[in-house]
Amino acid sequence: MATTETTPHVRARTGKQFLEDLAKDERELWLEGEKIKNPLDHPKLAQAAGSLARVFDLQHEHADEMLMPSPDDGSLVNVTHVIPRSQADLERRRRAFEITAAATAGMMGRTPDYLNVTFACFAGRADVWARRGNEEGAANIVAYQKEMRDRDLSTTHTIINPQVDRSKPEAEQAAGEVALHKVGETKDGIVVRGARMLATLAPFADELTVYPGSDIRPQDGNYALAFALPMATPGLKFVCRDSFAKGRSHFDYPLSSRFDEMDAVRFVGPIAPATQRGRPSRASKASPTARASRAPASFSSSASDSIP
């Protein structure tokens, strides 16, 4: 089993690096009525953070199976970030999945590799994202996937809206105000507001990704959104479900005490995903300025356009 101890340039993070980065950013989490800024400070979240750190360490302990050279500069990245080009690539990626699943007893279904392969798929078929005049959004998603790869990000996603009245389309439920939607524009992009589900791994993610998980009617363009934001962006709020981890011993509760990856409903707003990485994000005039340390990425050219 090869390790990365002697490798000069490795972009894949270690567990220690993951925890250090997690401790740097304050996000707004609510768990059982308590506001939490950092999951490492809470006994019902800290153990799962440690388990996820173990997942990051695995890629270095099994470097020959879980890491491969980046197609851009040859630095070592997690194999699940790489767009597969052959059967051998797919088989190697599957082996990485097996190692991660074994280490978590199959209980953490949303470890970072889950969205790594999703965005590798998106970037591998950027031509689909470029349809209907969305060439800029397609270029953004390719660039963001490279950033996910090179920074070895842990990401969560929210792809469905809360259900208020199943007899109506999402855009018409509660006067269209509950579902995440566009409410304005800035020179850099759009302003969004609303709720979205189901952010699994939210307490332990570096960034939040948003894209449609179901069909959108042609007349509901304001609800056709795809973007990414740092978890610490002001204006983002995550309300967690009750925790299965009760601070009990690993011996008596080997699964729930270590592998509760957590789910959350995300409330936005209003905040403004910028058109590209590197541009400042701005809030609407109706709210305090929401400015992220790293500007968000937007994958749709306009909320009024359909996206795949």
Q: Containing domain of residue 156, as a range?
A: 16-298
- Quote the pLDDT of residue 204: 96
Chain centroid, CA 79 distance in Å = 18
Contact status, residue 193 vs residue 274, Cβ threshold 8 Å: no
What is the rounded CA–CA span in Å between residue 204 and residue 267? 17
- Quote the pLDDT of residue 236: 92
Chain centroid, CA 2 distance in Å = 29
For residue 2, being part of any structural domain is answered with no
For residue 99, being part of any structural domain is answered with yes
For residue 30, what is the domain's CATH number? 2.40.110.10
| pLDDT tens, the chain, 308 aa long | 555 554 559 999 999 999 999 999 889 999 999 999 999 999 999 999 999 999 999 999 999 999 999 999 999 999 999 999 999 999 999 999 999 999 999 999 999 999 999 999 999 999 999 998 999 999 999 999 999 999 999 999 998 899 888 899 888 999 989 999 999 988 877 889 999 998 999 999 999 999 988 888 999 999 999 999 999 999 999 999 999 987 777 788 888 888 899 999 989 877 766 555 433 232 333 332 232 334 456 776 543 333 33
What is the rounded CA–CA span in Å between residue 253 and residue 232? 32
What is the rounded CA–CA span in Å between residue 284 and residue 146? 29
For residue 308, being part of any structural domain is answered with no
Contact status, residue 182 vs residue 222, Cβ threshold 8 Å: yes
Neighbours of 256 (CB within 10 A): 17
Of 80, 11, 22, 12, the residue nearest 50 (C-alpha): 22
Handedness of CA 226, 10, 37, 205 (dihedral sign): positive
Tokens of 12: 């894949």
Token pair 């197609």 is found at: 71
* Alpha carbon distances (Å) from 111 to 158, 174, 237, 259: 15, 34, 21, 10
- Quote the pLDDT of residue 250: 78
Which residues on adjacent β-strands are paired with residue 189?
Answer: 274
Instruction: Kindly give the pairing relationship between strand 236-240 and strand 29-31.
Output: parallel
For residue 283, being part of any structural domain is answered with yes
For residue 303, being part of any structural domain is answered with no
Handedness of CA 205, 120, 159, 48 (dihedral sign): negative
| Secondary-structure breakdown of the chain: helix, strand, coil percentages, each rounded to the nearest 5 | 35, 20, 45
- Quote the pLDDT of residue 19: 97
Helix (H) or strand (E) holding 117: helix 113-124
State the total domains in the chain: 1
For residue 250, being part of any structural domain is answered with yes
For residue 46, being part of any structural domain is answered with yes
* Amino acid present at 149: R
Chain centroid, CA 184 distance in Å = 24
What is the rounded CA–CA span in Å between residue 161 and residue 173? 10
What is the rounded CA–CA span in Å between residue 121 and residue 111? 17
Considering only the C-alpha atoms of the chain, give the largest distance between any 2 of them, rounded to a whole number of Å: 60
For residue 9, being part of any structural domain is answered with no
